[in-house]
Structure 1
Amino acid sequence: MCIFWPPRLVLAMLVPILVTSEYEYLGWKDLGDSYGKSPQCMDIPEDLRLCYTVGYHRMLLPNLLEHETMAEVKQQAGSWVPLVHKRCHSGTQVFLCSLFAPVCLDRPIYPCRKLCESVRDSCTPIMEAFGFPWPEMLNCSKFPQDDLCISTNTTDMPPSPDDSPACPPCENEMSPEVILEHMCASEFAIKTKIKEAKIENLDKKLILQKRRKTVSGNLNKEELKKLVLYLKNGADCPCQQLENLGNTYLIMGRKAGKRYLLTGIHKWDKSSKEVKKALKKLKSHKCPVYETVFK
């Protein structure tokens, strides 16, 4: 039995259902010491950005990912906010929040495997563009197929072209928030011009001009000198910033295997208040720790 979201008090009316031994649902009170701390129902705080607008206001802690403190939930959940903003699937927020901030019931209700697979298949290309794999903690085989679970009415619907940017690193919204998200998903940022952009297999390869200035990160002189960036799976995707190679850009990237991936590119304009604000905010901004989640 699937629960189509938003639940709107329907969850509270559900009666106990017999389930198979393959995936047993236990009441919260039955979880005992094996679950850790006794579960508590509490308000979803406003600074839990991933789930504050999900459609309900109370959540259980510990959650279904075994996070026992709100501080841990916020740190881990913060890593996923940029993915929701990419709109790779309409059910991304529902799927993630069913685990990070489960709705208050007398038993844990997990997301349906079909929902997990749909979100995974739609969003993995976006994540891979930034050098992150789909994490093992969200292995879809862990979730139920036919039992009581959370789904959405749009599970089988792929994102529309308007909802899913073809080249996530090329998102051209010049706002401090977007620039900060790209900076946080990156290991370094440099100021430079692009000499050439060419196709290599399914990727787009960026050859940089010799003059390069480090803005953030820890690239050494030799790495900076030899730096070549790849726009993963970007052979055919549009990237407005690469249409005029005469401009100076703030270019962000991270190492994935033996390659350096482009994770963000924004035009560097001396009069750009957005870039200046983003760089100023970066000094005090606390980025999500992606490496603790995407591994």
Structure 2
Amino acid sequence: MAQGQQSPRWALTRGSFSVALSLSLILLLLLTATASASEEYDYYSWQSDNFHNGRFYTKQPMCIDIPTDLRLCHNVGYKKMRLPNLLDHETMPEVKQQAGSWVPLVAKRCHADTQVFLCSLFAPVCLDRPIYPCRSLCEAVRDSCAPVMETYGFPWPEMLTCDKFPIDNDLCIPMQFAGNHPSPPTVPKVCPPCDNELKVDHIMDYYCASDFVMKMKIKEVKKEKGDKKLIAAQKKKKVLKWGVLRKKDLKKLTLYIKNGANCPCSQLDSLSSNFLIMGRKVDQQLLLTSIHKWDKRSKELKFAIKFIKSHQCPTFHPIFQ
């Protein structure tokens, strides 16, 4: 199909929908437009002129309930998903492992449609043919969220290259909040590693996604080449997760908030307390992924630290942390 043409039956544009429509309503409209929808689908291939990512499944895709422990997509707005999904994950354990690494990105609220976009791929809705996200939806989420990912040393992944997805005059999932973006902030956005709630779920997400975790004091904070540089105090540090760290790394420990020289981090306004520090190693630099003041009165922190001792993290590939 040429880029300027519309499919006679499957044309779907952003203008066809009100901004206020929820994803579930959009998918309901798509469902009524299809000839039929069943519990299992004989789908072998699909490819269009503007989406060169056709797939061949050796077994019939199944329609299954989205499990409650698939945290990325359990509350996305529909109850059943297609497996294999649109990222070629064929088993639910594989879906859970890979989707788990994206939960922190949704929590960052870098774009209102981040969850819609990711779940359209990780947990696609059950219809008689796969429904992909529109290219404009991918581009909007990428443009808003890629800078956040870069803070942690991650580029926008190749598997989410937006040119792979259909243009908006094909059948696809459009942006849900087009034209409904908030006014530009009058103050700088908080540094991403500093913008995390002190909640058990958040702490455990970052614990599993980070290379190392420790309790420590910070001696000094400086700016260096656009980054925020955190120099650890020489006092004893308690390592809760070693990962890539070695004992020699603790002697002159320095951490960085990538591109964080000018963004605020309220936790660092006072360096008198201990901190819960999480991070990962990128190109020999130790990058901060999360920071919390070590509040002895916090029940959430106490429970999380106790839980850490026996918690087995999933073995997912860390696309985003």
Which whole-Å CA distance do the structure 1 matches of 2:179 and 2:312 have between them?
36
CA distance in 1, matches of 2:80, 2:310: 30
2:263: which partner in 1? Answer: 237
Shift of 1:54: 0.8
Query: Which amino acid in 2 is paired with 1:70?
Result: M
* 6-15 or 95-104, larger mean C-alpha shift: 6-15
User: Does 2:249 align with 1:223?
Assistant: yes
Corresponding residue number in structure 2 for 1:213: 238
- Counterpart-to-counterpart distance in 1, 2:58 and 2:178: 32
Indicate the SS of the match to 2:77: coil
Where do residues 255-274 of structure 1 align in structure 2 (5 Å cutoff)?
Answer: 255-274=281-300
| Cα gap change, 1:292 to 1:238, in 2 (>3 Å) | closer
1:183-223 alpha-carbon deviations (Å, 9 max, x no partner): 22211122221111111121111111111332221421211
Most deviating of 212-221 and 230-239: 212-221
SS of the aligned residue for 2:234 comes to strand
TM-score w.r.t. length of structure 2: 0.81
TM-score under structure 1 length normalisation: 0.87
Structure 2 partner of 1:99: 121
Aligned match of 1:2: 13
Cα deviation, residue 132, structure 1: 2.4
Q: 1:203 pairs with 227, 246, 249, which one?
A: 227
Q: Report the CA distance between 1:62 and its aligned residue.
A: 0.9
CA contact (8 A) 1:114 1:155 kept: no
> In the alignment, which residue of structure 2 is the partner of 1:151?
174
- Pairwise CA distance, 1:278: 1.0
Is there any run of 5+ residues in structure 1 with no aligned partner, and where?
A: none
Structure 1 residues 40 and 291: alpha-carbon distance in aligned structure 2, compared to 1, 3 A threshold:
closer
**What letter is aligned with 2:211?**
E
Per-residue CA deviation, residues 34-64 of structure 1 (Å, 9 max, x unaligned), is 2232111121121111111111111111111
State the match for 2:51 in structure 1. Answer: 23
Answer with 129-138 or 196-205: which moved more.
129-138
More strand by share: 1
In structure 2, stretches of 5+ residues that fail to align are 1-11, 36-46
- Once residues 195 and 159 of structure 1 are traced to their aligned partners in structure 2, the CA distance between those partners, rounded to angstroms, is 37
C-alpha distance in 2 between matches for 1:221 and 1:69: 39
- Percent of aligned positions with the same letter in both sequences? 58
- Distance across 2 between alignment mates of 1:71 and 1:158: 35
State the alpha-carbon separation in 2 of the partners of residues 43 and 189 from structure 1.
35
Backbone CA RMSD of aligned residues: 2.6
Separation in structure 1 between the aligned mates of residue 313 and residue 158 of structure 2, nearest angstrom: 22
Q: Residue 217 of structure 1 aligns to which amino acid in structure 2?
A: W
When structure 1 is superposed on structure 2, of 266-275 and 107-116 the one drifting more is 266-275
* Cα separation, 2, equivalents of 1:182 and 1:97: 20
Distance 1:37 1:283 in 2: 41
**Is 1:54 paired with 2:76?**
yes
Q: Distance in 1 between matches of 2:153 and 2:182?
A: 21
| Range with bigger deviation, 209-218 or 57-66 | 209-218
Query: Contact 1:89 / 1:159 at 8 angstroms: preserved in 2?
Result: no
**What residue is the counterpart of 1:64 in the other structure?**
86
Q: How many positions carry a matched residue from both structures?
A: 286
Larger deviation, residues 116-125 vs 267-276: 267-276
- AA aligned to 1:150 is I
Cα distance change of structure 1 residues 36 and 57 upon mapping to structure 2, 3 Å threshold? same
1:106-139 per-position Cα deviation (integer Å, ceiling 9, x unaligned)? 1111101111111111111222222322211111
Paired AA for residue 239 in structure 2: T
